[in-house]
A = this chain, B = another copy of it.
């Protein structure tokens, strides 16, 4: 039914793929938002149709439990629908109209602008999210919403799942009469295909979620290109959590349960996993550490996504524990079997933490390091010593929040998202979400890879000067046929500029 090369087989002719993607883009970019929205919903429906098969396949490939996979599929479906709704609303294109002024010296021409899609986007599937950050995940959904074509480099750790999702996309392409090559799927071992895609002249953007080494390599490829293109890589974060004294005093037991769960959720295989916990030394903290250790003790080791990740976790965790001054304070009561992760909790003094860069590196898995500070100044030093993060969290009572305003101010500079009295794991897909942050959390702190704003990665503003009304896109026509919010002569309105004084 579909040509073999697009069913998930290895494609060696990247050049052909990229040419086809460019052609599909030329057609797709001019389609009305409601057609793109219908297409996104159709992908969601096609995924729903094969949910059981997807869960079964992904479970086999990734070892993730069925409940988690089902949740992730629901999230992926909702995400596609969110983008459909978002582009239908229309204000996201930032339409602006400055009308002509013939009386001015010199006369002012009519100037209008809106966001337009950039071109074919290369999306790299992420090993830890076979659905939500892979073939029909956030990068693909936002790029298609923007009006871009997409070439997915499927992750080899869940190639079969990726191919199934791609089948669903292909059904949606047929359902909605979209260009055949609007979304393409490339599998291939190693980084050869990925590099060729990212360096191809037709590529207009790259979306990636994964390791620091992978993300940085993609940046370097872009820098070697004849024409620079945007690369958004979400890479590395240890997601510091600060526990204040009154919060610990009031509810150490429930905080221990909450954080043991967050640290070991999905065997710690989340970008937002809380990798370091920061608190002032006290008897209360000692109690909390005991309680947290007891909770970690109960967690049963589970299989990680694949052997490579398990191997890396064991290596990084072991290296961490071998550092001077690092002391194990808790671990799963059960020794892990092959491919299983060993949930682990350690502690270190702030002084040691500050003197050893190694301790600030991400350990991808169910490991967390408690950093014990002598005083508030040391706590601030610890926070200031950290690189850019996706999230930072504060566990506090009202009194704590009042006492430690400066710590909160500091944390705002550190990450893309700051959380009070919650856990960093669990990234809501909504307009206000930011899943981003200063380098090395991502390659560009001005963007997010989750939530409605993630569409902004794949568009550029285009200014139309002196255009006759009939040649303008609907978004910019005087009559505002799409009835969207626009900035007209510096005011937000849905009105026709000709009707305004």
CB-based contact B433/A448 at 8 Å: no
Chain A residue total in the interface (Cβ 8 A): 73
**Given A398-B468, A438-B460, A453-B94: A111 and B421 within 8 A (CB)?**
no
CB-based contact A490/B416 at 8 Å: no
Q: Which residues of B contact A91 (CB under 8 A)?
A: 487, 492
CB-based contact B116/A388 at 8 Å: no
CB distance from A169 to the nearest CB of B (A): 25
CB-based contact A422/B113 at 8 Å: no
Of the listed stretches A170-178, A192-200, A221-229, chain B binds A221-229
Q: Which residues of B contact A439 (CB under 8 A)?
A: 227-229
A471 sits at the interface (CB 8 A): yes
A44 sits at the interface (CB 8 A): no
Q: Which residues of B contact A445 (CB under 8 A)?
A: 118, 230, 460
Segment 36-91 of A: residues with Cβ below 8 Å from B = 85-86, 89, 91
A380 sits at the interface (CB 8 A): no
Chain B minimum-CB-distance residue to A94: B453
CB distance from A418 to the nearest CB of B (A): 6
A304 sits at the interface (CB 8 A): no
Of the listed stretches A283-291, A320-328, A423-431, chain B binds A423-431
**Given A219-B223, A229-B439, A465-B420: A456 and B446 within 8 A (CB)?**
yes
Chain B minimum-CB-distance residue to A415: B462
Chain B minimum-CB-distance residue to A216: B228
Q: Which residues of B contact A416 (CB under 8 A)?
A: 460-463
A83-112 vs B, CB cutoff 8 Å, 1 = contact: the mask equals 001100101001011100000001011011
- A466-B396 Cα distance, complex, nearest whole Å: 11
A419 sits at the interface (CB 8 A): yes
CB-based contact A418/B227 at 8 Å: no
CB-based contact A446/B431 at 8 Å: no
**Given A228-B219, A459-B446, A462-B412: A431 and B487 within 8 A (CB)?**
yes
Q: Which residues of B contact A106 (CB under 8 A)?
A: 426
Q: Which of B116, B227, B434, B490 contacts A463 (CB 8 A)?
A: B434
Q: Which residues of B contact A253 (CB under 8 A)?
A: none
Chain B minimum-CB-distance residue to A444: B230
**Given A418-B462, A443-B228, A462-B416: A428 and B111 within 8 A (CB)?**
yes
CB distance from A382 to the nearest CB of B (A): 18
CB-based contact B109/A465 at 8 Å: no
**Given A118-B445, A439-B229, A471-B408: A465 and B419 within 8 A (CB)?**
yes
Q: Which residues of B contact A436 (CB under 8 A)?
A: 460-461
CB distance from A358 to the nearest CB of B (A): 16
CB distance from A25 to the nearest CB of B (A): 10
CB-based contact B418/A86 at 8 Å: no
- 16 further A-B contacts with Cβ under 8 Å, apart from A118-B446, A420-B467, are A94-B453, A96-B453, A97-B432, A98-B432, A98-B433, A113-B453, A227-B438, A401-B471, A417-B462, A418-B462, A418-B463, A420-B465, A420-B468, A445-B460, A446-B459, A448-B461
What 8 A-B pairs are tightest by C-beta distance, nearest first? A434-B463, A417-B463, A96-B432, A445-B460, A98-B430, A227-B439, A419-B465, A96-B431
